[in-house]
Each structure stands twice: as structure tokens, then as C-alpha cells.
Chain A
Amino acid sequence: MLQVYLKELLELTRDKKTLIFTILLPTLIMPVIMFGFITLTTHIAKKAIDEDLSYALVGGEHYPELVTTLAKNNKLRKVVVPEGAGSDEAVRIVSEMINKDEIRFAIVVPKDTLSILKEGLSAELKMLYNDSATTSEIIFGRINKSIKALKTKERQKRFSQLGLTEAQGKSINNPVRLVKTSTAGERESFGEKIGGFLPYILILIGLSGAMYPAIDIGVGEKERGTLETLLLTPISRFQLVFAKFAVIFTTSFVSVFLSLISFALMTLVFGPAIMSGFGAESSEKVGELFEALSSISLTDILLMFLMLVPVAAIFASLLLSVSIYARTYKEAQNYMSPIMMITIFPLILPLLPGVKLDWVWASVPVTNVSLAIKEIFKGTIDMQILLVIFGSTTIIAGVLLAICNWWFQREQVLFRN
């Protein structure tokens, strides 16, 4: 049996497709794509924060203080709108300029702005920008920030007219405030937010890492004509099944293990650099995040891996059964898509609001493992439920392996061609 296992592994390591799907994809390609995407997004966002913005002002004469405030901002470049244009015509022109990318935004000041402010009411300045641009929210934030001093000055003026201090003035809108105070620690809170994605990614990587080897050593061997020869060796069918199962299980688990290591390394190496690009505030948040993550112990990580063991065994048994049933490589590949879809559904459930690990969800295969990993990540796992999930998932894996073995004994399956 060991001979079969070692030979299958040797053959797989000599296969470029296996190396790509089992090792390169989870360890290098996926993280590189992910971090590449994050880096690109960061770069675009950083550019939107730092770039000089050209803008137009329509009706600036109705609010001279605004003109002065915007002019003081050296990152803003005012573009002059053609003179003599009426208000509506000016708005049409600047809108066109925004859509043609000649300017990034425009502010339209109504005629009665000053009189409204004098009356102590809220004046409405209209900011025109192209909402379809990915960085539009960042630009809106920058402009809002640059006129913040103007707004503060106006507010303080009104408070002093009313004889109120700054604090009293601010309390007018919120005389009674309800302040949220979470009893959850940083880790639990963070785990609740992203803990559902971790098993989703890990289990799918485990599945994709098992798929190609399962096809190759099942129907691939059937199609190449080597299976019949193997069946004629003095090794029992169960030993053959178990050796093949072990190979698929190994590749599945290696994929998960390598991807986890790779993601961890990439996060440690590139994570702080990327987040610092967003400024000091983000760097501080990254610090808090790392502090939260550092409370995940080695035991927690081992528990997560332990939960993935029976899941990888389920995939290995299922995929080997399907692969050995198929007549051709193509037929096996056709069966893989529904398996992928069926697996994704129970993995999505833990991401839904309100789905928490209890005895009901603990009875749903795959979802229970996903929820258990999330709870381990949060540091709130109930060990009793964990043991039950591990036990029940192991039993399912065992039953599937027994079915696979029965499948492998049948002439109708082995010689279906």
C-alpha cells in the first residue's frame, strides 16, 4: 500500500498541472493575485488622496469665504468657467467638463447662500462629481474636510450668538446619546467580522487542491489503461483505494497548509506596508489587528487544522468515487462543477447574519466545520460541540470511504468503458 502511495505522489510531483493546482496556485498565485489587487487598490486610493484636483466654482461670488477657503488648499486647482454664462448654463457646462474629465468636481453656490446663513439656517452647496468613478467618495471626503474650517467657524459664530459654549452647542442635536460599548474583545470582534471567510477560503482551497489529483489517479489511470494492470497485482482493492485516498487527502491538506502559511507570511511581510499607505490611522488599526491576531495560540491553529482533517477526508473519498466512476477525464471534470457548487452553499451559510454555532447548525455537515473554525478564530469555541463536530465529520468521511471502497470493488464501475 505504501508503494502505491509513494508512486502516486512521485507521479503527481512530476506533473506540471498538479504542481500548479496544488502548490503554486494556493501558495503563490492566489496570494500574489490577492495582494496585487490590494496593492493596486491602495495605490489608486492613495493617488486619489494626494493628487491635485481641478475644480470649477459656480456662483462663488455668493459665498466669498468659500472661494478663499478653497483657494488656500494648494491641492486644489480652480478652473475658470466661461464668463457671462447664466447659473443653469454654467451647471451644464461644468457637468460636461466633469464627464469629459477636464475637471474632477464643481461646487455650485446658490444666490441666497449668505442670506440663509444670516438667518441661521442651513445653506446647501451642491457638489457635482462623477459618481461612477471609483475614487469619487475619496474626493467627496477631501472637499468636505477642506471646508470643515468654514463650517466650524460658522457654527461657533452661531453658538456665540446664542450664548452657548461649543460643548453645549454640540449637545443640541444629541441631548441624550446612546453609546455602544462592546463586551467582546478585539479578537472576538475581529473574528466575527472576518472569521467566516477563513474556513470559506481554506475549505475551497482544500477542495480545489484535491480535484486534479483525484481525476488523475482515478479516471486518468482508467483512461491511460494502467488501472487494470494495477488491479492484477496481489494488493487488495481496499489497499488500493486507501492508498489513492491517502494521496488525494495529502494533496488537499498540503494545499490548505501551504496556502495558510503563504497568506500568513504575506500578511506579515506586506500587510503593514500596504496599510501604512492609508496613513497613520490605518497603521494604528493594523497594530491593533496584529495584537488581536497574536492572541491566537498554537493550540487554536492546531485545532483549526484538526477540523480540516475530516473535511479533506470527505473531499478525498467523494472525489475518488466520482473519478473512478467516470468513463473519461472529461466526464469526471463535468462532475466536478456540481460538487464545487454543492460545497460552496454550506460554506456561505456561516457568512449570513444570525448563523451561529449551536446544536442545530452543528448537525449540518461542512457548515458545522466552517462555524467551528470561525469560533476557534474568535476564541469562543465550545469544546463539547467541537468534539461532536469532529466526531460526526469523521464518521461521514469514514462512510464515504467505505462507499468508495464498495464502488471500487464493482466490475461495472471499473470496467464501465
Chain B
Amino acid sequence: MLEVKNLKKRFRLDNKTLRENKKKLVGHRDEREQGHWFNAVQDVSFSCEAGEVLGLLGPNGAGKTTSLRMLSTALQPTSGKIVINGEDVVATPLAMRKQIGFLSGTTSLYHRLTVRENVSYFGKLHGMSDSALKLAIDDVFELLDIHSFADKKADALSTGMKQRANIARTVIHQPEVIVLDEPTTGLDVISAKTILEFIRSYKGSNVPVIFSTHHLHEVEKLCDRVVLINQGVTQFNGSLEAFRQLDDSHNLYDIFVKLVDDKGGA
């Protein structure tokens, strides 16, 4: 189980941004800017049970990626708690990394290595033995339909192939929590379908999956829970059904726009 409590993250603004901000009118400034600081994430809380798929929604710049980066230990929270299966992620980030599989929106592969070499490399970095790695590679390549291009160099792959290889790299060490930041962005229908099917395969397993997306139809098809972040704050946290009930139309798109507009995001 994953629990995120009152997560906060602030960044120091660089001089260039500060200079630009001085030129802006007061009403046009982001409310999260305070002096030399930018409160990217102000208060985010949610939880995800094993076997659940949680959809993280929010407009651009809402704080989704920063929240996920804190979850993955790439960034250290200014305050708040992240707990995986009772263990504090913030206190022991190095040890907890073995339990987390994270795919960021900007991640890539080593383009001079083959897919197999890329995935093996990360498996070995997570301390997997050769025999365990071989079995895990066979399984995950099968699930993501990678075998046909497993020995091709990453720079020779299509975007969809690369993303499938990225996901294989993310889950090769069999993490206890999977975090995917916009995994289907920019993909063709077939590749996106493969990835969504892969996410679906974790439903009912021991692994909670958190994925952020702008595609509401994916949320509708896959998610058990929905969290909406806006202006660095959790604006909604509940089941997909509860989210649907927020508007008589039950249309996720309308609900999303209404919530974000009410708060003044995007």
C-alpha cells in the first residue's frame, strides 16, 4: 500500500525568473510564488491500495510530475510523508528505490545499447542475479511484446517500441509500487493499447499502480481511484465512481474542466 500525506515541495526561483516576475502584473503571477520561492506542491495527500490503479489528473503545471518525482525519491519533499508498505520513503530513499518502479515523462533509453542491454543494466543496478534477470526479462518482454526488437539498439526503435522498452526497464526489478508519468503520451493507438493492457494486468495484484495522464478515457477504462491535483493541492481524492458523481453528466471531461475552472487552474 502507498500513502502520501501532506506533501510539500518548494523550489528557489532563479534570478532570471525573479526579474521576469517583477515585470508581471500582480494578478498575472502564479499564486504559488512567494518571494524567492515557488511552492510547486503545497499540500498533496492520497493513498493507493495494492492491486488498485490510481489515475493522477491535473492541468499542466499543477504539480503532478513534482509529486511523482518525490514519490520516486528523485526529489526530496520539503515536508510531508510518503509511506510504502509501512516504510518511510523519505527517511530511507536509497533502500526504498528497490521497491519503486518509476517512469518519468521525459525518460529515455541509452540509445547505443540494445533494449536487452538497457533492461539488463537496470536489473543489475537493482541487484538482480543473472538467472533471476533472465527469467524476468523473458516474462516482461512477453507481456509487452518486445521480443521482436529486443536486440535492436534503442536509437533504431519507434516511439512506441521505446516506450514499451522503458516500461520493461521500469518494472524489471519487480517493484512493489509502480509510478508512471504520462506513459501513453505521443504514442500510436496500438502501442498505447499494449501499455494500457500491461497496466491492467496489475489490477488485483499486490502492486499499486499510479499513473498520471491527460487522457480521461484511459482513466475511465483503467482506474479504481482518481486524484486531481490543481495549483499544487489535492482537489479531489476518491473512487472513480465518486468522481463521476460530481456532475450529473457523469462525463469525466466536463467534471475535470469544471473542477479546474472553479479553482482557477490551467
Contacts and interface: CB of A to CB of B under 8 A. Distances in A.
Contact of B107 (A11, A15, A229, A411): A229
A229 to B, nearest CB: 5
A127 to B, nearest CB: 64
A228 interface: yes
Interface stretch (A58-66, A100-108, A191-199, A233-241): A233-241
Interface stretch (A2-10, A85-93, A134-142): A2-10
A224 B125 contact: no
Nearest to B127: A234
B113 A225 contact: no
A15 B124 contact: no
A177 B6 CA distance: 95
Nearest to B103: A229
B112 A225 contact: no
Contact of B95 (A7, A233, A234): A234
Nearest to A237: B94
Nearest to B179: A232
Interface in A165-220: none
Interface centre among A228, A231, A412 (most CB of B within 10 A): A228
B94 to A, nearest CB: 6
Interface string B103-140: 01011111111000100011011110000000000000
Given A11-B113, A14-B112, A225-B104, A4 B75 contact: no
Nearest to A417: B106
Given A7-B121, A233-B122, A411 B112 contact: no
B46 interface: no
A415 interface: yes
B125 A4 contact: yes
Given A232-B102, A233-B122, A234-B98, A225 B107 contact: yes
B12 interface: yes
Given A11-B113, A234-B98, A411-B76, A228 B125 contact: no
A226 interface: yes
B74 A231 contact: yes
B97 A232 contact: yes
B161 interface: no
Contact of A235 (B108, B111, B125): B125
A13 to B, nearest CB: 9
Contacts of B12: 412
Contact of A229 (B76, B95, B122): B122
A14 B108 CA distance: 18
Contact of A226 (B98, B102, B107): B107
A228 B126 contact: no
Interface residues of B, number: 31
A236 B125 CA distance: 11
A15 B112 CA distance: 7
Interface centre among A14, A225, A229 (most CB of B within 10 A): A229
B100 interface: yes
Given A3-B124, A7-B121, A233-B126, A228 B106 contact: yes
B169 interface: yes
B169 A229 contact: yes
Interface centre among B100, B121, B169 (most CB of A within 10 A): B121
A226 B103 CA distance: 11
Contacts of A233: 97, 122, 125-126
Given A231-B74, A232-B100, A234-B95, A3 B107 contact: no
Given A15-B112, A226-B107, A232 B72 contact: yes
Interface string B76-112: 1000000000000000001101101010101111111
A236 B93 CA distance: 10
B67 interface: no
Contacts of A4: 125
Interface string A219-262: 00000111011111111100000000000000000000000000
A15 B111 CA distance: 10
Contact of B73 (A11, A226, A232): A232
B76 A234 contact: no
A233 B122 CA distance: 8
B94 A234 contact: yes
A251 to B, nearest CB: 15
Contacts of B76: 411
A228 B122 contact: no
Nearest to A8: B110
Contact of B74 (A226, A232, A234): A232
Given A11-B110, A11-B113, A15-B112, A228 B74 contact: yes
A415 B75 contact: yes
B108 A234 contact: no
Interface in B140-172: 169
Contacts of B122: 229, 233
Contacts of A235: 125
A231 B94 CA distance: 10
Interface in A1-53: 3-4, 7, 10-11, 14-15
A232 to B, nearest CB: 5
A10 B110 CA distance: 11
28 contacts: A3-B124, A3-B125, A4-B125, A7-B113, A7-B121, A10-B113, A11-B112, A11-B113, A14-B112, A14-B113, A224-B111, A225-B104, A228-B104, A229-B108, A229-B169, A231-B74, A232-B73, A232-B100, A232-B102, A233-B125, A233-B126, A234-B94, A234-B125, A234-B127, A236-B94, A411-B75, A412-B11, A415-B74
Interface of A: 3-4, 7, 10-11, 14-15, 224-226, 228-236, 411-412, 415
The 4 residue pairs across chains A and B that have the minimum distance between CB atoms:
A225-B108, A233-B125, A14-B112, A234-B97
Given A4-B125, A11-B113, A228-B104, 18 more contacts: A3-B124, A7-B113, A10-B113, A10-B117, A11-B110, A14-B113, A224-B111, A225-B104, A228-B69, A229-B102, A231-B74, A232-B73, A232-B97, A233-B126, A234-B97, A234-B127, A411-B76, A415-B74
